[in-house]
A and B are shown apart, each in its own frame.
Chain A
Amino acid sequence: MCNKKISLNGLTRVPFIDPQRAAHGILIDAAAPALPACDQRTVPGVMSQRSCAYYGARWFLAPMKQVIHLVHGPVSCAFYGETVRKKRYTVFSTDLTEKEVIFGGEAKLLQNLLEIGERFPDGAILVYVTCAPGFTGDDVDRACRNAEHAMGIRCLPVNCPGFLGHHQSTGHEIGAGVLLEHFVGRDEEAVSGPYDINILGEYDVMGDFKVIKRLLGRMGVNVVTAITADASVDNLARAHRVQLNVMHCRRTGGLMAEEMQRRYGIPHVKVSFFGVAQTSAALRQIGARLNLQEAAERVITEEESTMAADLERYRRELSGKRVGLFFGGSRIGSMQNCYRELGMEVLVAGSQFGGKEDYRDAWSTMRTGTALVDDTNEEEVLRFIRQYRPDVIAGGMREKFIANKFGVPFTVFPQESGPYAGYSGFRNFVRDILVALKAPVWQIVRGESETLA
């Protein structure tokens, strides 16, 4: 095995990318702006990290409260959809069998809806349409209409069969469409406070949203809803009466932000609550929009003063460490800033389903010679490990265990230990990197492979 670190100078193309997908990876060259090919079909037969539209819709809508989630399809889609971001939710399934696949599942769906309406009444029923009924062509709309008519509870199809689109982001958009169409702005009489905002594209991973809400609360900002961390039928109905939409994840929140601006004239702003500098910038931006500059500065000064000494220490520990990032969507840009704030060197930023704007964002923060890659697959991650010998990798859980097998520490996103957002979350973020990097097991492993090899 080649033990030499690859030199970043003199490369002309991303060295670990599959030749068949060469256009999907670029080396940043400040003089010649370029973007990787994105939003294209996945190469079949490679171990892509992407998932299906149903996965995306479930990821987006799972935390939605006051609704029943009914998965129309074979029972397994519901089985997997129970756990989203490592949290368990109650799901209902129509449990399609051979009979319904052959003769149609509409009648069973209708009966399911009526049963739910009668026995588990709630604000609304979301019906996720999976591959099987997508192929057999069940008229889900009609079943929903009939059920709604019969029992007076809204039944709303989420049309997300797995084969739609090229990746799970299709599902995010479908989910956002359902919220916009059926939930947002239904309460005509809602009144708006001067400091009311929504947060779009925030999912409360391990309490992220609670940290953000507390920070904003100290500034005097009131969060009406966070979509979908905190979304419910009630607060979405009032979500159109706010002063500002704060977009945390562009890939999942962007569509809603634009549509709400078009419909209700709500301005939106893209921020990131990851990292000290970015959190401060976010508070400043929100403060400026809501005329709360002083309050924002007060919170920032308070928090930053307690962070300064720690930041210094974190930098001492981590500066110069080399990291490879493989994220889902649009966090590649903002998360890089976090690593750079710690003085770490980002070798590659990869995204499963990033869009053009996400890559443009990321591009502007990256240094010449580093790689920006779309839809990285397992083989490429392993080649990256061999060629670049990173100190640590951040990415999804499926790559964690294989990276570990190659002796590389790994930090998992979405995180498992605690909130990463805000100032206090940044400590957790750093702690997780340190935990992964400094674990004695790596020293033992390395020592052994040197002596035994």
Chain B
Amino acid sequence: MSANHQPISIDGIAYNQLKIEKKPITPEYVRRDPELVPKANRTVVVNPARTCMPFGAMFAGLGMHRGLPFVQGAQGCTTYVRYTFCRIFQEPASIANASFHEDAAVFGGRKNFIEGMRNLIVRYHPDVVTVVTTCSSEIIGDDMVSFIKAARKRLITELGEEDGSRPKLVLVNTPSFAGSHIVGYDRASRAFLETLAQDHSKPNNRINIIPGMVMPGDVREIKHLLREMGVDAYTLFDISDVFDTPLMPPQTLPYYPEGGTRITEVEDMGNSMATFALCQNEGGLGARYLEQKFEIPAFIGPMPMGVRSTDLFLKRVSEVTGKEISKSLKDERGRLLDFMADTLHHTMMKRVAIFGDPDIATGITRFACELGMEPVAVMSGTKTKTFTADIEGIVAESGAKPLILNGSDLFEFEESLKAMPVPVDVIIGNSKGADIAKELQVPLVRAGLFVYDRVGYHKRPVIGYRGGERLLADLVNAIMDFSYPEERTQQL
């Protein structure tokens, strides 16, 4: 261990290298032509805040036990997404690829798919393979349904009837030009239920949860809430033990995390009492499918963040299952309220700007209003039909009039904040906002999917009462870190 104690000089990593080459807000700073700032006035997108549909489908596919996504596209479609998962979760993300080269572009991806599927299944023995299409395969018009049949035939000839037909193949059509990662997850939720859930004859006294693209900590928190109430539930795409797994070598090959939703669970989801899609735009499609097909009541949104939304979620669960909301949960609620009362002088009337995926942005806005903050700008990277109305409804009570950006980019968000006569006090959003916050010299409280420049955010919840406590603590501490008087230590 001696080497650790001997100083090894570090040369060359000057902190100022991290600075971004952008114009600071100074008197000389020339404001951009205000006409071009709104996304509606231009066609070009600058610093997008949403990503591709396959991303959402891959996220869902990894949430299955022994599940692997297979991407029918070029190699970059997988590499970029794997990098992104690695950066967010610091966990391996195994995703296979059809490796499109020129020949596939000319002759179609049939050969790549059948060969690739065979190679994947022979090597990894997955339980379920999520077949994810991309821009490429959708434009060249790969007939995936027939490819899947042909691949199955090949598997059965090569591995025998039992082994060849065991792995389920679930097709999710995700052309990136038709929507964002939100839509990809949404479509995956429907595709999985459509392909796997068939039975509706044996009521199982359970409820289904479709969590949406939330963090492992959030899924654990939902499970905790339900456990406290004594409610049995299935979670579709349970990423809690996939994207946050223990280090326990020795491991066996092929490596799979222990977690993930099992196929039998998805099959049984047709027998449940109700489906709760926590995020309206991420999983709502799946919940609605079960409602139409099997008349299972669907409760879609709002994301149980903050006090009232969590209350609503628990109330609905209690009504559906007939189980009481337990004393322990009421205590948790009380503790959050106590915390809110203790910190109100830090949060009240603070001007906050919020951005992220539509559901988390709405959830945070709702919680921020409960904290007495004043949302001045709320942005969703993906455009949805209800986002503007949702936000307007939330802020109506407080009388705030935030700038609502439905499906905009970070350029508009940044420039709008800079143009505000009274500056914002704090920004809540993902890591993509780090540069903006640095330039505006306000704190950034990280929440949402793309948090990859800080550690541990995927382990902690923002959902539920305890998630609210955590987010509130982050918020107050961030505000205080920026407003601490330098010459003395402030006691609370």
Contact = CB atoms under 8 A, between A and B. Distances in A.
Contacts of A73: 135
B42 to A, nearest CB: 5
A394 to B, nearest CB: 16
Contacts of B51: 75-76, 79-80
Interface string B81-119: 111101100111111111111111100000011011111
Interface in B220-260: 245, 247-255
Given A94-B45, A131-B136, A418-B12, A445 B177 contact: no
A378 B1 CA distance: 31
Interface stretch (B2-10, B158-166, B210-218, B278-286): B2-10
Interface residues of B, number: 91
Interface string A119-161: 1000000000011101110000000000000000000000001
B86 A397 contact: yes
Contacts of B86: 397-398, 400-401
Contacts of A419: 11-13
11 contacts: A42-B75, A45-B123, A46-B119, A49-B79, A76-B53, A101-B177, A163-B136, A166-B101, A382-B255, A398-B93, A405-B251
Given A400-B86, A434-B8, 4 more contacts: A78-B45, A90-B46, A98-B175, A115-B44
Contacts of B6: 313
B70 interface: yes
Interface in A415-429: 417-419, 424-425, 427-428
Nearest to A443: B1
Contact of A406 (B75, B102, B251): B251
Given A131-B134, A398-B82, A401-B90, A43 B101 contact: no
A404 B95 CA distance: 18
A70 B52 CA distance: 17
Given A398-B82, A418-B12, A425-B12, A48 B99 contact: yes
A10 interface: no
B20 A88 contact: yes
A19 to B, nearest CB: 11
B11 A54 contact: no
A100 B135 CA distance: 12
Interface string B33-66: 1001000001111111011110100000000000
Contacts of A379: 123-124, 253-254
Given A52-B76, A402-B92, A407-B250, A207 B44 contact: no
Contacts of B53: 76
Contact of B8 (A44, A100, A427): A427
A250 to B, nearest CB: 22
Given A79-B50, A80-B80, A449 B248 contact: yes
B250 to A, nearest CB: 4
Nearest to B52: A76
Contacts of A88: 20, 435
Contact of A401 (B9, B43, B91, B176): B91
Which secondary structure dominates where chain A touches chain B?
Answer: helix
Contacts of B134: 131
Interface of A: 1, 18, 20, 41-55, 70, 73-80, 82, 88, 90-98, 100-101, 108, 111-112, 115-116, 119, 130-132, 134-136, 161-168, 206-207, 210-211, 310, 313, 317, 378-379, 382-383, 386, 397-398, 400-402, 404-407, 417-419, 424-425, 427-428, 430-431, 434, 438, 441, 445, 448-449, 453
B455 interface: no
Contacts of A98: 175, 177-178
A82 B10 contact: no
B97 A48 contact: yes
A51 to B, nearest CB: 4
A41 B99 contact: yes
B202 interface: no
Contact of A434 (B3, B55, B91): B3
B100 A162 contact: yes
B89 to A, nearest CB: 8
Contacts of B82: 398
A136 B120 CA distance: 30
B170 interface: no
A79 B55 CA distance: 12
Given A48-B75, A51-B79, A76-B51, A404 B99 contact: no
Contact of B112 (A44, A74, A398, A434): A44
B358 interface: no
A341 B412 CA distance: 52
Given A46-B120, A165-B101, A445 B247 contact: yes
